[in-house]
Amino acid sequence: MSANEFASCLIDYLTENMLQFNRCIIFSDGCTYQNRNHVLASALRHFCKNQDKTVEQKFLERGHTQMEVDSVHATIEKKLKGVEIHLTSDYVKVIKSARKQPEPYQVKYLDHTFFSNYKDFGNLKSIKPGKKATAPNVTNLRALKYTPDGSMFFKTSFADDWELLPLPRNDVIPVNGPDRLYSSRLKIKQSNKTTVLSSFHVSTCRTDLELVEMNFTFTIIARIVCLPHAHLIETLRYNNSNNNNNNKTRTTTTTTTIIIIIIIIIIIIIIIIIIIIIIITTTIIMIIIIMLKRAVGFHTLFGRGLTRRKPHAPSKMLDVGSPQTVRSLNQEP
């Protein structure tokens, strides 16, 4: 977004909201491309002189540029997550629904006729405080003030007093307003047309379709600024939904395949663990059996040697002195 687009949005906002006030203070970051340049200065000088207003523009210190408008951006970005955008009007719907309390954001849809050219408006070519080498640079400015008589004042520190900013000798603020920045819609470059048309159904597109890249910015009230080269034909059917469906199908298939592979791996691991458990259990049982067999054999072997034999019946001894023995001996021949 260039300084002309930003200046056009800011002047439009001041014109609509500053009618009942004579003095306004604008807080800006230090971006020289958008906020701190002669283009925006020319626009604010013209506004203050024609509307009889006083505007002070204060630049935030580096590293301390966070302000309330950042929360607006964060809210809108949060709302955009997961939302499919097919047309520029979809952004308008999303931004309006991003906040409900205290009230929805105000959204303004713009086209190429809205923007003005302040770059060559008047003869102010620089806002540097002086031409000497020792003069402060543009980045040293901490505040600028625009008065109804066309004068400009500056500060290099918020604690300083206002100093008059040197202006060209032939300085003139045009009475009439600036010219339009764009006389017609900007056409897309031929090198990029193929890429853009590939996102649409070719059967419903015109060969001379005027499409260019989109760009958005938000002012303090979070109004949407669609640049003039953001023209989009609403009647075209965007093919993004089909692409999203294909991507979702591919993602689902890939996820299913991964899950199946993981399940198979888990089953294989479980089978291996079971086999290991069976082998270990079998080995333990065999060891126990062998140990038992050895224990039983030991008791059998040594039990026989230790068992007491039954005593033999005593042999009959002849008592020579007994009468029976004498009688039996006498009877023998």
Q: What is the pLDDT of residues 58-99, one digit of tens each?
A: 999 888 888 888 888 899 999 999 888 888 788 889 999 999
Assess whether 39 and 104 both reside in one domain.
Answer: yes
Residue range(s) defining the domain that contains residue 63: 3-238
Q: What is the mean pLDDT of the chain?
A: 77
| % of residues, the chain, pLDDT over 90 | 40
Assess whether 41 and 170 both reside in one domain.
Answer: yes
Do the domain assignments include residue 333?
no
Assess whether 138 and 206 both reside in one domain.
Answer: yes
Assess whether 275 and 208 both reside in one domain.
Answer: no
What average pLDDT score do residues 215-239 get? Answer: 34
Look at residues 238, 253, 282 and tell me which one is the last residue of a structural domain. 238
How does residue 216 score in pLDDT terms, banded at 50, 70 and 90? very low
Considering its fold, how many domains does the chain have in total? 2
Assess whether 144 and 274 both reside in one domain.
Answer: no
Assess whether 250 and 125 both reside in one domain.
Answer: no
Q: Are 109 and 92 in contact (CB under 8 A)?
A: yes
Do the domain assignments include residue 316?
no
- The pLDDT of residue 133 is 82
- The pLDDT of residue 84 is 86
Sign of the Cα torsion 230, 65, 15, 32 reads: negative
- Beta strand pairing status for 23-28 and 54-59? parallel
The alpha-carbon radius of gyration of the chain (Å, integer) is 51
Look at residues 196, 219, 238 and tell me which one is the last residue of a structural domain. 238
- The pLDDT of residue 218 is 34
